[in-house]
Amino acid sequence: MLWHLASLILFFLPLSSAAWPNTPFRTSGRWILDATGANVTYVGVNWPGHGEVMIPEGLQYQSIPAIVSKIKSLGMNTVRLTYAIEMIDQIYANGEADVTIGVALFNALGRTNGSKALEDIVRNNPGFSSTTTRLQVFDAVVAECARQEIYVHLDNHVSKAGWCCHPFDGNSWWGDTYFNTKNWIRGLGYMAEHAKSWPNIVSMSLRNELRQPYTKPNLYQTSYNWETWYSLSRLGADAINAANPNALIFLSGIDSSTNLSAIAQGLSLTPGSETFSLSSFHYADKLVLEIHTYDAAQECAAFEKKLFNLGFQTLDGSTAKNTLPLVMTEFGFLQSNQTYKNVYVTCLGRYLPAQRVGWTIWVLAGSYYIREETQDYDETWGLLSHDWSTWRSPEHIEEGLKPMINASLKVESPPKNSGAFMSGVGGARHLGWVALLVSVLGMVH
């Protein structure tokens, strides 16, 4: 009985005690709120795990805690962790057992380089061995993020594992060479189910950068449109929501996640005449829009206007037809000592915090196990150096990125006790609950 009382109190307590991560998140208009009702702004980085090996990158050079500590040292709160549907396809083909990293490295890198990479990964991460599975590596990355209080947004980046994205790569659109719709839905559901036990999973995407399937002209002509986007995005979102109703679901537009105007402006989802209807989703308070931008902007005001028309309008309650939260899940650039001073970067550095829009920069990786057939590929856009040990451009980190992170996180939320459940309940009452809990636990011990 006492234990029942104690667990009842424990059940209610997190709503008022601000225990990180305060999940589940939900949306309210253009805001993302945590379970206490406080605004949450995603500020983070992309950590790829969708390459040919199908595990998070960098572990042949550093330990997971060392990498997560680098992210944490910036003050970031989110990792956008990417995966390939092929990983789940292989699990089903293998009697629902995941492939070991020994096998995955061998398959992707060949015998000699694969066993060398395995040796390096295990040396840096002694909890692993050749029989550790790929999902166990994802689990370990996520667990360390949780330990360091970093949220995880899980992103389906591709179907067939490998570098993304261009319109000729076979991964572009439902029905493209490698993009099997049924496998995609199965994969989203599988990952939503798997990730449900991660304490810090807050959201999942449907698909990275949907784009023109140019190698299939007939598919492009008949299917590359907003009508298809709407019906199939709904199926994917349903699959995630059915497996994990707590997760936020990120919807991207078409044209490589650059254009959400049809949603923001409530335009007809052509060639049909239906329009996007938030209230038609039974989990309407779980939907978030995501947008990417890679741009040779020359002038900030013009760039901002362009971004507004491409999707930021959704934040503007006075003109948008559909108001949803928005997160810029990708922008990125060469990590030199100069590029971060470009209009594109400095403009986003001001605009995103000013709009109170969250973001995850592309990309953490200093190198990849393999990319586009080159092993140990150097990532010149990586925040980290080739061996993931230091920042590639310390100037960018100090003068560009850190101030942008601070500016994005700066605005304080209202006091925690104004959350939904506790609304109107003062701090004294809150203390009363804690006192009761302490006394109950005291009696039990």
Ligand X SMILES: *[C@@H]1O[C@H](CO)[C@@H](O)[C@H](O)[C@H]1NC(C)=O
Q: Which is nearer to ligand X, 81 or 384 (CB)?
A: 384
Question: Is 346 a residue that touches ligand X (CB under 6 A)?
Answer: no
Question: Is 350 a residue that touches ligand X (CB under 6 A)?
Answer: no
Choose one: 152-160, 184-192, 209-217, 257-265; the region binding ligand X (CB under 6 A). Answer: 257-265
Question: Is 352 a residue that touches ligand X (CB under 6 A)?
Answer: no
Q: Which is nearer to ligand X, 136 or 336 (CB)?
A: 336
Question: Is 36 a residue that touches ligand X (CB under 6 A)?
Answer: no
Q: Which is nearer to ligand X, 51 or 189 (CB)?
A: 51
Identity of the amino acid at 30: R
Q: Which residue, 248, 280, 251, is CA-closest to 26? A: 248
Residue 95: Cβ within 10 Å count: 6
Q: Which is nearer to ligand X, 115 or 136 (CB)?
A: 115
For 28, left (φ over 0), alpha (ψ -120 to 50), or beta? Answer: beta
Question: Is 180 a residue that touches ligand X (CB under 6 A)?
Answer: no
Q: Which is nearer to ligand X, 49 or 366 (CB)?
A: 366
Cβ density class 300-329: b for 16+ within 10 Å, e for less: eeebbeebbebbbbbbeeeebbbbbbbbbb
Cβ density class 123-162: b for 16+ within 10 Å, e for less: ebbeebeeebbbbbbbbbbbbbbbeeebbbbbbbbbbbbb
**Residue count at the site for ligand X (CB under 6 A)?**
26
* 243 touches 189 (CB < 8 A): yes
Figure out which of the listed residues 39, 107, 115, 148 binds ligand X, where binding follows CB under 6 A: 39
- Residue 283 CA to its chain's centroid (Å): 19
* 331 touches 359 (CB < 8 A): yes
Figure out which of the listed residues 181, 336, 342, 346 binds ligand X, where binding follows CB under 6 A: 336
Q: Which is nearer to ligand X, 114 or 189 (CB)?
A: 114
Site string for ligand X, 373-412 (x = CB under 6 A): --xx---------------xx-x------xx--x----x-
Q: Which is nearer to ligand X, 81 or 357 (CB)?
A: 357
Question: Is 77 a residue that touches ligand X (CB under 6 A)?
Answer: no
Burial class (CB in 10 A: 0-12, 13-18, 19+), 112: exposed
Please report the sign of the dihedral spanned by the C-alpha atoms of residue 379, residue 386, residue 156, residue 121: positive
- Any idea of the CA torsion for 197, 57, 148, 82, to the nearest 10 degrees? -50
Question: Is 293 a residue that touches ligand X (CB under 6 A)?
Answer: no
Q: Which residue, 253, 171, 202, 243, is CA-closest to 358? A: 202
Figure out which of the listed residues 262, 288, 307, 357 binds ligand X, where binding follows CB under 6 A: 262
- The least CB distance from residue 291 to ligand X, in Å, is 11
Question: Is 295 a residue that touches ligand X (CB under 6 A)?
Answer: no
**Under rule CB under 6 A, which residues in 108-127 are in contact with ligand X?**
110, 113
- The least CB distance from residue 393 to ligand X, in Å, is 5
Residue numbers at the binding site for ligand X (CB under 6 A): 31, 33, 37-39, 110, 113, 255, 259, 261-262, 267, 336-337, 356, 375-376, 392-393, 395, 402-403, 406, 411, 413-414
